Amino acid sequence: MTPYPTNRSSSPPRRRPVRRTAGIALLAAATVLAGTASAIAGPSRTSSTTTASAGSSELSETTRLADRRSLVVGDRAYAMGDETGLYPASGWHIRGEMGGFWSQPIKLLDGIWFGLDGNWLGKDVAAAKYTSGHGYSRIDYSGSVDVRRTDFVPDGVRATLVGLTLSSSTAKTVKLDVDAHSELMQSYPWGWTTPSAADANLPDTGDFTGSALRFREQGTPTYPNAAAHDYAAFVGSSLRPSDHQLGPDHRGPQSPAVICPADGTTPARCDDSLVGKGTGGRLTYDVPLAAGQSKTIWFAVAGSDQGSGAAEREFGKALSNPEKLLRAKTSARQQIDAQSAVDLPGDRLLQQSVEWSKQNLADSVQEARNLRIRDVNEGKDYPAPVGQQHYVYEYQGPESFRDQVAPARTFGFVHEFTRLAAAGLAAGGRLDNCVLIGEDGVINGELRFPDEFVRHKILDVMGDFSLLGRPLRGRIVARATGHRHNVAMVRELLAAA
């Protein structure tokens, strides 16, 4: 059957009071999410063909689909490609790596591609129409077999679901190929930092579990203070494939990949980055179709930064009942839409913009569990011996705080202390409770840690965020911050609570 929901429209929702809760969802990371509604990448040179009626829960496009980005988002994962169903390389912080499938704080895949009888959707079979809905997207392909692709991310699950609804006017069995290319990597470090994304990213491995592809990245990067990690991703369906392949490519019509340059002008086609170390696989299914009837097959891309077992559990949750998860997703988004109503008879486009902005706000929520605090400095703001330092702290009880963060002292430069003392400030600063830096380095003894400076910055962040007055669940990324920046963030969180 066709995945719920299909084309539909609704009258403007009844106005309901907006409820505020005391919970806090925090994403203090360099993650940029596009809106749910279709958006053109670059200036438009043709007239738009966006179609929607007032109060509609869908927007559709039929032109320049390869130039437009597609995004589906849940609170634990998101996926970004283009509106034809392909996955061009995109992003700046790690150039070419910011699209694809993510479950913060890691990326899972560069993309997933579907082919019918040797013809790849999005290239050999052109996309006819792309539709954005409240919490989902849909792509229609026309051919000897009509295909409707529905993508969404269920909330509370570290997975993206893709449903393919196939229909044919004649009875036949089609060969369905599913390509997936992994790129298990962290969202930080970035491409130009020290350490860099190339330093942190380790080679992926791939295997076949009997019904799904499994990709893993395990090990410890070689830069100082690097932690061991175990990232994993699963790709597959509730069906058992008739065949499978493993290898370095498997990007559907985007094989072999065109590699993005480190800088300069991006080529017209760009599929992967210079720091990519992923691998690939293919699943093949023989799908019988009855004449005039449709069949839907659901696929899941799931993963975790907590190892293969955790990733497999997310995979199982996603495929347990995709239709039910989709109904829950659209119902939650309808409730968001119903929290307010705007009726602008003189400007329906503005009315539509207000309605969709609520969906865009819902798309901006991402959750990463287990608090990690980073203070990131690219080496441009502090002179030697501070330079560039990078540290990850994960709270694991009072002992971890006592041993890793609490001893780190505040620091400053001689010329700064001289100026502050002349102004009657910094009265509490003494040679035994701070690190004082002169022209030739630290002048008042040895550092307690080689990276004591960045550890003290983390201590500052923890102290300032205690002003929230409540527990905090999230991940904080900080770059050369001070108390003023930390407190400003706290005020924003309290205002939104």
Per-residue pLDDT reduced to its tens digit, 99-153: 999 999 999 999 999 999 999 999 999 999 999 999 999 999 999 999 999 999 9
Do β-strands 410-413 and 434-438 pair in parallel, antiparallel, or remain unpaired?
A: parallel
Q: Which of 309, 335, 363 finishes a domain? A: 363
Residues 340 and 458 in one domain: no
**pLDDT band at residue 369 under the 50/70/90 scheme:** confident
- The per-residue pLDDT for 179 is 98
**pLDDT band at residue 309 under the 50/70/90 scheme:** very high
Residues 394 and 462 in one domain: yes
Q: What is the DSSP letter of 232?
A: E
Residue 15 lies in a domain: no
Q: What's the rounded Cα separation, in Å, for the pair 93 and 452? A: 26
Residues 351 and 379 in one domain: no
Residue 269 lies in a domain: yes
Residue 9 lies in a domain: no
> Which of 51-65, 253-267, 303-317 is predicted with the least confidence, judged by mean pLDDT?
51-65
- The per-residue pLDDT for 262 is 80
Residues 303 and 348 in one domain: yes
Give the domain CATH number at 338: 2.70.98
**Has residue 29 got a pLDDT over 70?**
no
Q: What's the rounded Cα separation, in Å, for the pair 62 and 128? A: 6
With contact defined as beta carbons under 8 Å apart, do 246 and 205 qualify?
A: no
Q: What's the rounded Cα separation, in Å, for the pair 442 and 66? A: 55
Residue 141 lies in a domain: yes
Residues 199 and 305 in one domain: yes
Q: What's the rounded Cα separation, in Å, for the pair 40 and 228? A: 40
**Has residue 3 got a pLDDT over 50?**
yes
225 vs 240 pLDDT, higher one? 240
Which residue type occupies 321?
Answer: N
Of 21, 27, 17, nearest to 496 (Cα)? 21
Share of the chain above pLDDT 70, in %: 82
Q: CB neighbours (10 Å) of residue 38? A: 23
Q: Which of 325, 340, 363 finishes a domain? A: 363
167 vs 31 pLDDT, higher one? 167
The alpha carbon of 53 is separated from its chain's Cα centroid by a whole number of angstroms, namely: 31
With contact defined as beta carbons under 8 Å apart, do 238 and 105 qualify?
A: no
Residues 465 and 492 in one domain: yes
> Which of 1-5, 26-30, 250-254, 458-462 is predicted with the least confidence, judged by mean pLDDT?
26-30
- The per-residue pLDDT for 412 is 79
Q: For the chain, how many helices (H) and strands (E)?
A: 8, 24
- The per-residue pLDDT for 480 is 75
466 vs 92 pLDDT, higher one? 466
- The per-residue pLDDT for 246 is 98
Q: What's the rounded Cα separation, in Å, for the pair 134 and 130? A: 14
Residues 77 and 174 in one domain: yes
Residues 477 and 386 in one domain: yes
Residue 284 lies in a domain: yes
Residue 32 lies in a domain: no
Query: Taking the CA of residue 4 as centre, how many other CA atoms within 13 Å lie in the half-sphere pointing to its CB?
Result: 11
Residue 20 lies in a domain: no
- Report the SS3 class of residue 65: helix
The alpha carbon of 230 is separated from its chain's Cα centroid by a whole number of angstroms, namely: 18
Residues 271 and 329 in one domain: yes
As for how many domains the chain has, the answer is 2
Residue 119 pairs with which residues in a beta bridge? 116
Residue 337 lies in a domain: yes
Tokens of 274: 């210079």
482 vs 103 pLDDT, higher one? 103
- Report the SS3 class of residue 401: helix
Give the domain CATH number at 446: 3.30.1700.10
Q: What is the DSSP letter of 418?
A: H
b/e per residue 125-161 (b: at least 16 CB within 10 A): bebebbbbbbbbbbbbbeeebbbbbbbbbbbebbbbb
Residues 461 and 338 in one domain: no
Q: What's the rounded Cα separation, in Å, for the pair 280 and 245? A: 9
- The per-residue pLDDT for 377 is 55
Residues 281 and 172 in one domain: yes
Q: Which helix (H) or strand (E) holds 393?
A: strand 392-394
Per-residue pLDDT reduced to its tens digit, 196-223: 899 999 999 999 999 999 999 999 999 8
Residues 355 and 387 in one domain: no
- The per-residue pLDDT for 49 is 52
Q: Which of 363, 393, 421 finishes a domain? A: 363
Which residue type occupies 398?
Answer: P
- The per-residue pLDDT for 289 is 97
The rounded mean pLDDT for the chain is 84
Rounded to 10°, the helix 322-337/308-320 angle is: 80
Mean pLDDT of 398-425: 79
Tokens of 33: 């999410």
Sheet bearing 127-133, strands edge to edge: 58-61, 127-133, 136-141, 146-152, 159-167, 294-304, 229-237, 212-219, 205-208
**pLDDT band at residue 408 under the 50/70/90 scheme:** very high
- Report the SS3 class of residue 496: helix
State the residue range of the domain holding 412.
372-496
